[in-house]
Structure 1
């Protein structure tokens, strides 16, 4: 989005003969057309100018302020008499190319020394802003400009570049950091040895070869099955869990699981019902006894009974207060932050395994009236996370910064034993609204994914 920002400083003089010109200063042929009322012929000649930016290494979604300084112009004073001080108002444009194309409108205010009749108009300074929308190198070249004089009547001298002007400045935009949005859910969180577990994964590259495997701690078990992601990046598989050491299930693309390129671990518990054999039972020497079999050498005394309680693992789930997020209003012209909160999110981890979890958010662009859009990368948040009393795991809030369409971590817990608990997550959010954004309601979709 291109926005106007009125800010000025005095025009810089051209470099004197023999002096080194300022960095980025360029010269390009210009055709200046005076107003008809002046009765002057067109003025042709070089324009000496330079462009600078406040941030040469922004990220996608950042707003960059650009300054267009004209040190010398062939345009003449269109008035028949001397122009008084502060009578020239400049406007212009800067041409973007490379990773991002388009134009930036720049403006200045009246700030000049008196100009004698017939003399060239003075140097001017104009500023403006634009939002970075693509990563890579972006070049900035001076474009045409208009010099408005307000004495004795309003007159405009329009100057255009006679061909493409040379590049005066460039910047290199970095892409937004990407979050791992792969997620994994299991049809059940426990089962006997040999049970087949339904596994569903999402967020993988469409058509990618995916490995679904059992895991114990940081190592994989022998349980493994291959799958292929569909056109939406969804993976479905059945994993036979035969290794009694399996405590979780992971899925990943490539040769090995990683926190950035894989999903899970989703907690899984192998339940092996032990057989109780009374010490008085006669065991045939030929009988093969499973190592998991428990031989009770001291059976209960008459009149007594053994009491066994089983704690079954539960699920990982979240709930959110409210159905929508309303940000504060921003006045037209000024722009600025529209602030709000995402609403309390409660995460309950009752799986009983060693796996932690991660809550990731991503946001679309904000769509407004007439097709105007504010990039999703303009939304930032400051996450908070609190673990309820008695929760075995510690909750870690994500980093403050950009949410964007690529996503960012809102909160997480680390792998470890014991793990689990109840956690309250929230975040303050701010949408950076550029100045002179057309009035109206701007709406986006914020998606939270728990895995």
Structure 2
């Protein structure tokens, strides 16, 4: 009987962990967008026209007005390679960038990443660390996030890249929050800073940093602007489905616990 109870307890723990892990960060499919990059002056390189591939995620899949979410920009592919000038050593590339906020809320988010990269040989793809920033949500409805620009800083030089036609990379469905009031809304973001070592060389595929904007409180009414361009994914799971899942899981756990703790042998003997 003790072994059976231990087995049931292990099963209940597994089910409970599965239910609790049901809340995931909001994510969208990888976004490809045409990009124009301007290398540093004086290095003999011309303007580069390429394609960037980025992935935007949010720390919350079902945010509400008043929440502050962390937005992460992961560069899957930079617009161009490391040019054939020098091999870049590990931990010498620092990215920063700007994400445009649209839909129910307007503004921008400044993001930046650490100076963390492997060795990057000449004429090989650039490797850029993930960039993060914070956004305070002030309006209910559909809030869109679009990669706008990024800068790659290497050895004291900046290569600035700008999206030719920014596309929506992530859409957050923001629920009305308590205590929100009417007013304009802009996105708040954590400022990004760039650090560099001395030297001179250039890299292509990088970012243009802009400062974040301040946030103000918003009405709890819902304004919804659909995402533009061909970008497809939305970031938020339905809170209703999560609640139903948690309710069903709770009923399952209670029923299983009653079954485990009921003294079946004693009941049989009493009969």
Q: TM-score, normalised by structure 2?
A: 0.55
1:46 aligns with 2:51: yes
| Bigger CA radius of gyration | 1
Q: Deviations over 1:242-263 (max 9, x none)?
A: xxxxxxxxxxxxxxxxxxxxxx
Q: Residue in 2 aligned with 1:118?
A: 123
Q: Residue in 1 aligned with 2:157?
A: 155
| Deviation of the 1:127 alpha carbon | 0.1
Structure 2: distance between partners of 1:124 and 1:54? 18
Structure 2: distance between partners of 1:103 and 1:50? 17
Q: Residue in 1 aligned with 2:176?
A: 175
| Deviation of the 1:28 alpha carbon | 0.5
Contact 2:62 2:175 in 1 (8 A): yes
Q: Deviations over 1:382-432 (max 9, x none)?
A: xxxxxxxxxxxxxxxxxxxxxxxxxxxxxxxxxxxxxxxxxxxxxxxxxxx
Structure 2: distance between partners of 1:373 and 1:41? 38
Q: Unaligned 5+ residue runs, structure 1?
A: 1-21, 180-332, 334-371, 378-451
| Deviation of the 1:178 alpha carbon | 6.0
User: Do the aligned partners of residues 45 and 373 (structure 1) sit closer, same or farther apart at CA in structure 2, a change above 3 Å counting?
Assistant: closer
How many positions carry a matched residue from both structures? Answer: 161
Q: Unaligned 5+ residue runs, structure 2?
A: 1-26, 181-190, 192-213, 220-271
| Aligned-pair Cα RMSD in Å | 2.5
**Any residues of structure 2 matched to 1:20-419 within 5 Å, and which?**
23-77=28-82, 80-150=85-155, 154-165=156-167, 167-177=168-178, 375=217
Q: Deviations over 1:202-242 (max 9, x none)?
A: xxxxxxxxxxxxxxxxxxxxxxxxxxxxxxxxxxxxxxxxx
Q: TM-score, normalised by structure 1?
A: 0.33
**Higher strand content, 1 or 2:** 1
User: Do the aligned partners of residues 79 and 157 (structure 1) sit closer, same or farther apart at CA in structure 2, a change above 3 Å counting?
Assistant: farther
| Deviation of the 1:60 alpha carbon | 1.2
Structure 2: distance between partners of 1:104 and 1:80? 33
Tell me, what secondary structure is at the counterpart of 2:42?
A: helix
| Deviation of the 1:37 alpha carbon | 2.7
Tell me, what secondary structure is at the counterpart of 1:100?
A: coil
Moved over 4 A (4+): 372-377
Structure 1: distance between partners of 2:132 and 2:78? 18
**Higher helix content, 1 or 2:** 2
